[in-house]
Amino acid sequence: MYNINNIQIDKYFNLNEFQCPCCKRVMIHPDLLNNLIILRTIINEPIYINSGYRCKNYNSQVGGVEKSYHLFGMAADIHTRTVLIPHLAIHAQQAGFKGIGVYKNFIHVDVRSSSYKWEG
């Protein structure tokens, strides 16, 4: 089946990595992509997108907050194969992310206007 979002948007990322799993819509803020590219360069290994854009229905299904940055294409939940989660969070801050949530197997990064960090 043809995937309309199978578009390379950078040498490291494909648009379909950011699409909503339920409706296949996608939205990505340019600052999110730019910071992910910077982060990818810093860690020098692939970044895997667990969750990018979410429509309202999917965000609700996964228990996302009502005004989640995922709804606006301004957030991604990510992991790598070898970089430890705490170290990935430090590198994410170096890459310019303002919102950083540290979870057991991934970090949430977003491009909000002011710094905010949490553990989930």
Evaluate whether residue 34 is within a structural domain.
Answer: no
pLDDT in tens, 4-34: 899 999 999 999 999 999 999 999 999 999 9
C-beta atoms surrounding 115 within 10 Å? 10
Q: Looking at the 3D structure of the chain, how many domains does it have?
A: 1
Burial annotation 97-106 (CB, 10 A radius, 16+ → b, else e): bbbbbbeeeb
Domain of 97? 74-120
User: Does the structure show a pLDDT above 90 at 56?
Assistant: yes
Cα–Cα distance measured from residue 48 to residue 51, given in angstroms and rounded to the nearest whole number? 9
Evaluate whether residue 104 is within a structural domain.
Answer: yes
Evaluate whether residue 83 is within a structural domain.
Answer: yes
Evaluate whether residue 23 is within a structural domain.
Answer: no
Instruction: For residue 36, name the pLDDT band (cuts at 50, 70, 90).
Output: very high
Evaluate whether residue 64 is within a structural domain.
Answer: no
What pTM was estimated for this model as a whole?
0.95
Evaluate whether residue 15 is within a structural domain.
Answer: no
Evaluate whether residue 79 is within a structural domain.
Answer: yes
Quick one: pLDDT at residue 4? 86
Quick one: pLDDT at residue 2? 64
Q: Which two tokens stand for residue 93?
A: 């801050």
Evaluate whether residue 101 is within a structural domain.
Answer: yes
